[in-house]
Amino acid sequence: MWTFGGGSGMMHPMQLHTPMRALATLLAPLAIAGAAAGEGASGNLTVVVTGLESDAGHVRVALLDSEAAFDDDAPPLRTASAKPAAGRATVVFEGIAHGTYAVKIFHDRNDNEELDTNFVGIPREPIGFSNDAMGRFGPPSYDDVTFPFDAPAATIEIASREI
């Protein structure tokens, strides 16, 4: 049933009563709850680094959630390190929200917690990126290293490479 207000013949939007408005009022909380359930989804991301030529030092892993973090203009979302064994190292990032990410690694053979470079900035320690992306004259582009993460658990593998 329609309800009109006042004697002017004009209808105020809040005075409109219909079965559809009642149904919308009842269903709105369910729609909001459904949307919120998808927003909080997260999972565990396992990063396996392969091709390590020695078990010295640690492999440093950075999980990145923005191009600024990839370019070192912002801090990484998370970092982790692992001791290599038999040419491999594995780290697990737990409780990662579903989204788009990038990963970069380096094998810190001398355990100084820095990527050692030569006088022009070329890495002297092995490096790697998600999607096994490599650039021609510098690092790969952010678009080349990003990947979607939308599962309860996922594993990516990154080959460590000397430049």
pLDDT tens column, 127-155: 999 999 998 888 999 999 999 999 999 99
CB 101, CB 72: distance < 8 Å = no
**pLDDT value at residue 158:** 98
> Whole-prediction pTM value?
0.75
53/50 Cα distance (integer angstroms): 9
**pLDDT in the model for residue 39:** 61
Question: What is the mean predicted confidence (pLDDT) over 25-39?
Answer: 47
> What pLDDT does residue 5 have?
37
Strands (E), the chain: 42-50, 58-64, 78-82, 89-97, 99-108, 127-129, 147-149, 153-159
Predicted local distance difference test score (pLDDT) of residue 4: 29
DSSP summary character for residue 11: -
Give the per-residue pLDDT at 35. Answer: 41
What CATH code would you report for 42-159?
A: 2.60.40
Band of the pLDDT at 103, cuts 50, 70, 90?
A: very high
- The 10s digit of each residue's pLDDT in 74-94 is 999 999 999 999 999 999 999
> For residue range 41-74, what is the model confidence (pLDDT) as tens digits?
999 999 999 999 999 999 999 999 999 999 999 9
- Domain range annotation of the chain: 42-159
The span from the CA of 70 to the CA of 80, in Å, is 16
pLDDT of residue 32 exceeding 70, the answer is no
Burial (0-12, 13-18, 19+ Cβ within 10 Å), 84: buried
pLDDT band at 10, cuts 50/70/90? very low
pLDDT of residue 33: 42
CA 65-121-116 angle, to 5 degrees, is 80
Structure-token pair, residue 118: 């030569």
What would the mean pLDDT of 7-14 be, rounded to a whole number?
Answer: 42
Please state, rounded to an integer, the average pLDDT across all residues of the chain. Answer: 84
